[in-house]
Amino acid sequence: MNAPFAAPAIDPALVEALRALLGSRLSLSESDRAQHGRDESRHAPRLPDAVCRPHSTEEVSAIVKLCAAHGTPVIAYGVGSSLEGALIPVKGGVSIDMNEMNAILEVRSQDLDVTVQAGVTRKQLNAHLRDTGLFFPIDPGADASIGGMAATRASGTNAVRYGTMRENVLSLTVVLADGRIIRTRSRARKSAAGYDLTGLFVGSEGTLGIITEVTVRLYGIPEVMAAAICAFPSVEAAVDTVIQTIQMGIPVSRVELLDDNAISAVNAYSKLSLPVTPTLFFEFAGSQAGVEEQAAIVEEIAKGEGATNWRWSADADERNRLWQARHDIHWAIRAANPGKQGFGTDVCVPISSLAEVIRGVREDTRQQPFNTTLVGHVGDGNFHFGFQIDPDSPEEVRAAEEAYDKMVAHAVRVGGTCTGEHGVGLGKRKYMRMEYGEAVDVMHLVKNALDPQGILNPGKVLPD
């Protein structure tokens, strides 16, 4: 195995063949390799042996064929925003940087779909769509590539209304482990024709094939958007409000929960004076009459649960002010915890168990020296506790890991999952057997059938 900054341990014949294919779009430089060996996670970087920058599906196919002939790992790279080490080449090999495959191939406004090369980012796509009245709603925070979002089954704050990449990818072009190119599905809105290969590749984190083109659904931009915010006496009251809202079929676009610690941090950072208590942030979308009606119903539900300080607005500036605390939360937490590193978590549970699992984490971490802050995409039951730890303290790191292990075990026990949206990558492989039992063996059967050499992003998703 390579040490992180060793010279590349790649077959010179493979380098020569890749150079012939790509010219200067093959890079062996240490800086380039270093950039492609790390992500936004806490996992240790590991350099790839080479970086390729293809321009087409056919070039990706040619790269994979060459690597397959040499038994060399291949790992797709989008913008590097993975939070679980999904792109770190833990066994070396070739990083395929998709950023130069950034063409928006065809917008079909009547069909409400678009086909893009995998390197197109979501903000690039939405900027391109601006004049069509359509938009692509999936918003994981980072300006991720659409290919990376498909590969990790990304979602974000408005999954409660629009679903995740699972629901929004219609079709993929995929390069298989032997270099063959397939299209997983037609563009039809529904199909009962055979196995759902689109679904199989979405979320497979590059371990079953390399996604090179993506066709996703688009939506009409709502006529009016409105925001609301209100404070609750407890997490339970906030969660009960969300449960009733969803049961009534109110099509909220987003509903986010911040706990008292998070509100404290934001009050300090953004000079706000929000009540320091669990707080819900709502976004509504629709017609003017529709959003007014939605907001009125939710206000009534929330007040029935003891909410105070209800405020709402459909005015753009006022909306932004209401949501300012939510928008500023990451910077606020950083400012409130100088010298600390955020240890992020990501479980998703049935909403009936949400308050219980959150309470469990708070009890488990009460005695710890580090601060905890909760941000939840509460409509889906997905939430992120951030533990603000001293990265140089092995005790704090271990305590955070233990608290995370307990959180995941609790989530799985109540019918939830170890990752709502960040993916498995390196960090959650250890939870897969707990969550899936023998179903993990079926995943291995599929992996071995599609990648018998094990060259596609080895060491990810599945436990050994």
Q: Within positions 189 to 218, which residues make up the interface with a second copy, using CB under 8 A? A: 189-197, 199-200, 202-204, 208
Query: What would the 3-class secondary structure string for 3-23 be?
Result: CCCCCCCCCHHHHHHHHHHHH
Burial class for 41, CB neighbours closer than 10 Å (0-12, 13-18, 19+): buried
Instruction: Kindly state whether residue 100 participates in binding a second copy, applying the rule CB under 8 A.
Output: no
Residue 69 Cβ vs a second copy, minimum distance, rounded to whole Å? 19
CA dist., res. 148 & res. 50, Å (int)? 19
Instruction: Kindly state whether residue 1 participates in binding a second copy, applying the rule CB under 8 A.
Output: no
What residues between 379 and 438 interact with a second copy by CB under 8 A? 380-382, 411-412, 415-424, 428, 431-432, 435-438
Among all chains, which residue has been given the structure tokens 């590059």?
206
Q: In terms of CB distance, is 61 or 324 closer to a second copy?
A: 61
Site string for a second copy, 342-371 (x = CB under 8 A): ----x-xxxxx-------------------
Q: Of 223, 218, 57, which is closest to residue 128 (Cα–Cα)?
A: 218
Among all chains, which residue has been given the structure tokens 């055979």?
194
Amino acid occupying residue 238: A
The window from 73-81, 94-102, 240-248, 319-327 that contacts a second copy (CB under 8 A) reads: 240-248
Instruction: Kindly state whether residue 462 participates in binding a second copy, applying the rule CB under 8 A.
Output: yes
Residue 110 Cβ vs a second copy, minimum distance, rounded to whole Å? 4
207, 462 contact by CB (below 8 A): yes
What residues between 271 and 330 interact with a second copy by CB under 8 A? 286-287, 289-290, 293
Residue 19 Cβ vs a second copy, minimum distance, rounded to whole Å? 29
Q: In terms of CB distance, is 48 or 379 closer to a second copy?
A: 379
114 C-beta neighbours (distance < 10 Å), count: 25
229, 356 contact by CB (below 8 A): no
What residues between 6 and 25 interact with a second copy by CB under 8 A? none
Q: In terms of CB distance, is 204 or 371 closer to a second copy?
A: 204
What residues between 164 and 183 interact with a second copy by CB under 8 A? 164, 166-167, 176, 180-183
What residues between 35 and 74 interact with a second copy by CB under 8 A? none
CA dihedral (226, 231, 232, 235) in degrees, to 10, reads 80
Contacts of 1 (CB under 8 A, 6+ apart): 91, 92
Residue 29 Cβ vs a second copy, minimum distance, rounded to whole Å? 32
Size of the site for a second copy (CB under 8 A): 97
CA dist., res. 307 & res. 234, Å (int)? 9
The window from 160-168, 230-238, 256-264, 362-370 that contacts a second copy (CB under 8 A) reads: 160-168
Residue 140 Cβ vs a second copy, minimum distance, rounded to whole Å? 10
161, 137 contact by CB (below 8 A): yes
Helix (H), strand (E) at residue 113 = strand 113-117
